[in-house]
């Protein structure tokens, strides 16, 4: 990897990643991990939310992984490589990004403890959406951490933006030219609506779906679901928005297998349990139960929707719902005092990537609250997120209605 000498060179490097993302027809955002002491580029990545299926002449389905934003991928890349490459701790590194991180990526970066340097503002989904550097979306305990470790490069005339933030990020206090700033801003703006629509609309509505519980045992779709989650299609709730005690055993058994005792289930519009995953925080602190559930289900859909066999592709389309029509159920809600909670609600927003069909109860539910938190604190965190999450997705966590489910989980914890 190359060695950089200035903020300008850093932004030019990540801008090239954003260009690669645009050519891939996904969100045009790029980022890199840079060593503060040496200026060495340790890793550079771009957004992969939409991605062609490798090794195939034809890609039938581009929605790949709603969590595959550049910064989230860089955090997981770091934890995969920190030991074999003997990398410095995150506090000695900076993630430079073309665009102000979304809630998911901001929560990921703050969880890991990286310094962060930014070129362009995202006034809809960015964590600094109001450009005031006061981070109103972050829990009070986390705001100071962001203010101490983040920076927004100054921009030369004619934009003439002053540097904003701490000097801890690499090339802190430096200036980039207006051309680099406008490239990083406009290339994202040109792609964002098209990609959001492609992601948000990548699935049949419930009235056109078929019930995957009816799939035969030799169905590749059924086998893939079972391989991902052994309890898949073994539990059915009469009302997908109101699961009962029948869901408790899967949530509890799955949670026991995780690094942290927690699990998240995805229920489809027919009431079927499709996926239930625990976290693997021992591999990366951001690989929580929700991140594993939403990411692995997306990867399963992407793989099956691009299967060489047209019968498998058709079956995947007919039986696998878009998550916006399903219901996510947490064993434990995320702790609203932590950056992981910001990451989780952000990742939910990225999974929806647009409006969610309005229903009661919410399709974002939890059985129990962690520790000493309250439902109001959790709701306040959701209500304070950047405008994309409050106006478009309308993130609204709610406790499950079934007291039987709550009691069954409490008895099993």
User: How does pLDDT run across 254-309, given as a tens digit for each residue?
Assistant: 999 999 999 999 999 999 999 999 999 999 999 999 999 999 999 999 999 999 99
State yes or no: pLDDT of 232 exceeds 80: yes
State yes or no: pLDDT of 333 exceeds 70: yes
Tell me what pLDDT residue 359 has: 78
7-201 with 208-411: one CATH topology? yes
Side-chain half-sphere exposure of 207, counting CA atoms within 13 A: 0
Tell me what pLDDT residue 21 has: 97
How is residue 385 annotated by DSSP? S
Residues 260, 103: Cα–Cα separation, whole Å: 22
The partner residues of 398 in beta bridges, in order of sequence, read: 365
Average pLDDT score, the chain: 96
Tell me what pLDDT residue 178 has: 98
For the domain 208-411, what is the CATH code?
Answer: 3.40.140.10
Q: If you average pLDDT over residues 17-39, what whole number do you get?
A: 98
User: How does pLDDT run across 192-209, given as a tens digit for each residue?
Assistant: 999 999 999 999 999 999
Report how far apart, in Å, the C-alpha atoms of 300 and of each of 138, 325, 368, 372 are: 32, 17, 28, 36
User: How does pLDDT run across 148-195, given as a tens digit for each residue?
Assistant: 999 999 999 999 999 999 999 999 999 999 999 999 999 999 989 999
Residue listed under structure tokens 């029509």: 325
Neighbours of 162 (CB within 10 A): 8
State yes or no: pLDDT of 1 exceeds 80: no
Residues 201, 213: Cα–Cα separation, whole Å: 23
For the domain 7-201, what is the CATH code?
Answer: 3.40.140.10
By the 8 A CB rule, do 43 and 65 touch?
Answer: no
Q: If you average pLDDT over residues 344-352, what whole number do you get?
A: 97
The residues spanned by each domain of the chain are 7-201, 208-411
Residues 324, 357: Cα–Cα separation, whole Å: 7
Tell me what pLDDT residue 141 has: 86
Residues 144, 381: Cα–Cα separation, whole Å: 16
Sheet holding 30-35, edge to edge: 41-46, 30-35, 93-99, 115-120, 150-152, 164-165
Strand, helix or coil for residue 152: strand
**Which of 205, 225, 216 is closest to 274 using CA atoms?**
225
Contacting residues for 72 by C-beta, under 8 A, at least 6 apart:
104, 105, 108, 286
State yes or no: pLDDT of 57 exceeds 80: no
State yes or no: pLDDT of 380 exceeds 70: yes
Contacting residues for 27 by C-beta, under 8 A, at least 6 apart:
21, 47, 49, 50, 69, 188, 191, 192, 195
- Give percent above pLDDT 70 in the chain: 100
**How many residues in total does the chain contain?**
413
What value does the CA radius of gyration of the chain take, rounded to a whole number of Å? 21
Residues 125, 29: Cα–Cα separation, whole Å: 13
State yes or no: pLDDT of 332 exceeds 70: yes
By the 8 A CB rule, do 338 and 240 touch?
Answer: no
Pairing assessment for the beta strands 41-46 and 115-120 based on DSSP bridges:
unpaired
User: How does pLDDT run across 115-157, given as a tens digit for each residue?
Assistant: 999 999 999 999 999 999 999 999 988 999 999 999 999 999 9
Tell me what pLDDT residue 56 has: 67
Element (H or E) spanning 71, and its range? helix 70-81
Residues 355, 79: Cα–Cα separation, whole Å: 33
Residues 397, 381: Cα–Cα separation, whole Å: 10
Tokens of 369: 């609250």
Tokens of 53: 């299926």
399 confidence band (pLDDT: 50, 70, 90): very high
């Amino acid at each position: 990897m190359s060695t950089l000498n200035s903020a300008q060179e850093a932004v030019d490097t990540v801008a090239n990643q954003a260009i690669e993302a645009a050519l891939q027809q996904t969100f045009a955002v790029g980022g890199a991990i840079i060593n503060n002491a040496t200026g060495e580029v340790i890793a550079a990545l771009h957004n992969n939310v939409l991605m062609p299926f490798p090794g195939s002449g034809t890609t039938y389905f581009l929605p790949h992984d709603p969590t595959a934003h550049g910064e989230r991928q860089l955090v997981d890349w770091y934890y995969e490589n920190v030991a074999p490459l003997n990398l410095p701790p995150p506090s000695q590194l900076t993630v430079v990004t073309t665009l102000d991180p979304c809630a998911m990526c901001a929560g990921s970066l703050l969880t890991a403890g990286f310094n962060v340097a930014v070129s362009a503002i995202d006034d809809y989904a960015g964590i600094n959406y109001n450009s005031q550097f006061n981070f109103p979306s972050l829990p009070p305990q986390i705001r100071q951490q962001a203010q101490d470790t983040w920076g927004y490069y100054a921009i030369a005339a004619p934009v003439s933006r002053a540097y904003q933030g701490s000097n801890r990020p690499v090339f802190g206090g430096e200036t980039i030219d207006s051309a680099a700033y406008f490239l990083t801003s406009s290339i994202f703006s040109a792609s964002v609506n098209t990609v959001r629509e492609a992601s948000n609309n990548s699935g049949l509505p419930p009235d056109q779906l078929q019930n995957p519980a009816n799939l035969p045992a030799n169905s590749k779709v059924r086998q893939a679901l079972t391989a991902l989650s052994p309890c898949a299609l073994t539990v059915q709730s009469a009302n997908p928005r109101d699961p009962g005690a029948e869901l408790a055993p899967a949530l509890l058994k799955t949670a026991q297998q995780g690094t942290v005792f927690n699990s998240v289930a995805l229920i489809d519009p027919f009431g079927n349990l499709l996926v239930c995953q625990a976290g693997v925080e021992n591999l990366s602190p951001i690989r929580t139960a929700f991140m594993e559930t939403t990411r692995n289900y997306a990867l399963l859909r992407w793989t099956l929707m691009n299967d060489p066999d047209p019968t498998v592709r058709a079956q995947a389309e007919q039986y696998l719902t878009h998550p916006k029509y399903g219901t996510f159920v947490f064993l434990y809600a995320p702790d609203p005092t932590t950056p992981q909670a910001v990451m989780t609600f952000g990742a939910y927003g990225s999974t929806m990537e647009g409006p969610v069909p309005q229903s009661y109860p919410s399709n974002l539910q939890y059985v129990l609250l962690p520790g000493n938190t309250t439902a109001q604190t959790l709701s306040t965190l959701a209500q304070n997120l950047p405008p994309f999450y409050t106006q478009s997705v309308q993130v609204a966590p709610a406790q499950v209605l079934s007291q039987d489910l709550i009691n069954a989980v409490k008895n099993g914890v």
